[in-house]
Amino acid sequence: MIYSYFQVVYFTATFPYVVLVVLLVRGVTLPGSLNGILFFIRPKWELLLDPKVWVNAAAQNFNSIGIAFGGIITMSSYNKFNNRIIRDVLVIAVVDAITCLLAGFAIFSILGNLAENQGKDVGDVIQQGPGLVFVIYPEAFTTMPVPQLFAAVFFFMLINLGIDSQFASTEVIVTTINDHFHPQVKKYLKRKEVLVAVVCALSFLCGLPNVTQGGYYFFSLIDHYAAAVSLMYLAFFEVIAITWFYGARRLGRNIKEMNGSTPNIFFIVCWYFISPLFIFGIWLFSMISYRPFQLDGYDYPVWATVLGWFIAALSVLCVPIGMVHSIYQAKGNNLWQKLKNSIVSPLDDPNEIFHLNPYNGGPEKKENFDAI
């Protein structure tokens, strides 16, 4: 199953680059494209004083790379023990940056042409969210030869991007359930494929409101509260748990045991101080500058705002609940002893980490991996 998954991803991950390059080549040949590109690369330094810009930029990076979503951690759990993790981290960051720049140049070259055709400034024709995909891009196809063909190829690319995203999201859920409740999964569902089918079916049902008449507003509400508000909170505690409780230096020693070399001191400093401070600062700014969510001038009713916070709380509450569960399960005769033992990682022995890897030992994980 994993092998077939990677075969599919080879196509679904590379095909969008072909379409983006075609759009970029076409975009830069259109009149007014230079104005759009200059709007894209020319900085507006005064916006750095706006907290919303920092929050949106951080959310974009988190969504783009997959930070705090669990996808990278889940996929990396299938790596070999001696996989060069630092190299992978740098490759992911560089490829993501190049992809964002490629998409940015393609989009803004088309926006420049659209602005010239409408006699407006580039900033006046910019749209966010679904409007960018279903309005701006199709505008470029109308000037291409055989526009119907390019439109079909473009929307096929969107399907590939959606499949890619669902691969990662589904694998996070499936792996988490399979790791924590493997005996129950094996007893009642028998095979991992059945668990995948159940997760996909439930995800499909949960996604149905997004394709109703008001789906655009429901989708935007979820996107704002789940992917922006709660994301910084989760990322902050994830960094704190790994670098301060488990220990950045211990993590560095683990990487040396796997790769033979210790991470650069830059990574250690980022793990300990820079990353937590930046994430906490951005999260604090987002709370200080919080305003009830609006979309295209539409003010959401109070019940919708409450629903948005409820959606955000579904992931946020996992942190305090996990803390209480960890303290409850920790060894000790009183609350203080349990609290001290709950913040000490049991993974002191590198062999324990080795056995957690699905390729190298760990009978339960190894059995799960062989099964798929």
The reported pLDDT for the residue numbered 195 is 92
Q: Which residues are annotated as a binding site?
A: 64, 161, 164-165
The reported pLDDT for the residue numbered 25 is 87
Q: Which residues pair with 299 in a beta bridge?
A: 294
Residue 123 lies in a domain: yes
The reported pLDDT for the residue numbered 201 is 94
Residue 192 lies in a domain: no
Type of residue numbered 104: G
Mean pLDDT by 10 residues, the chain (372 residues): 62 82 85 89 85 79 82 84 86 89 87 82 72 69 76 83 83 88 88 90 91 86 77 86 85 85 86 88 78 80 89 86 88 86 67 43 39 36
CA-based nearest residue to 140, from 12, 20, 296, 15: 20
Q: Is the dihedral of CA 205, 198, 172, 188 positive or negative?
A: positive
CA-based nearest residue to 91, from 76, 69, 74: 76
Residue 302 lies in a domain: no
CA-based nearest residue to 250, from 269, 276, 268, 236: 268
Q: What is the pTM of this model?
A: 0.77
Residue 9 lies in a domain: yes
Q: Which residues are annotated as a binding site for Na(+)?
A: 64, 161, 164-165
DSSP 46: G
What contacts 285, CB < 8 A, 6 or more positions away? 51, 54, 55
CA-based nearest residue to 101, from 217, 17, 161: 17
Task: Check: CB of residue 41 under 8 Å from CB of residue 190.
Answer: no
Residue 43 lies in a domain: yes
The reported pLDDT for the residue numbered 198 is 93
The reported pLDDT for the residue numbered 59 is 77
Residue 170 lies in a domain: no
Residue 295 lies in a domain: no
The total number of structural domains that make up the chain: 1
Residue 348 lies in a domain: no
Containing domain of residue 145, as a range? 1-161
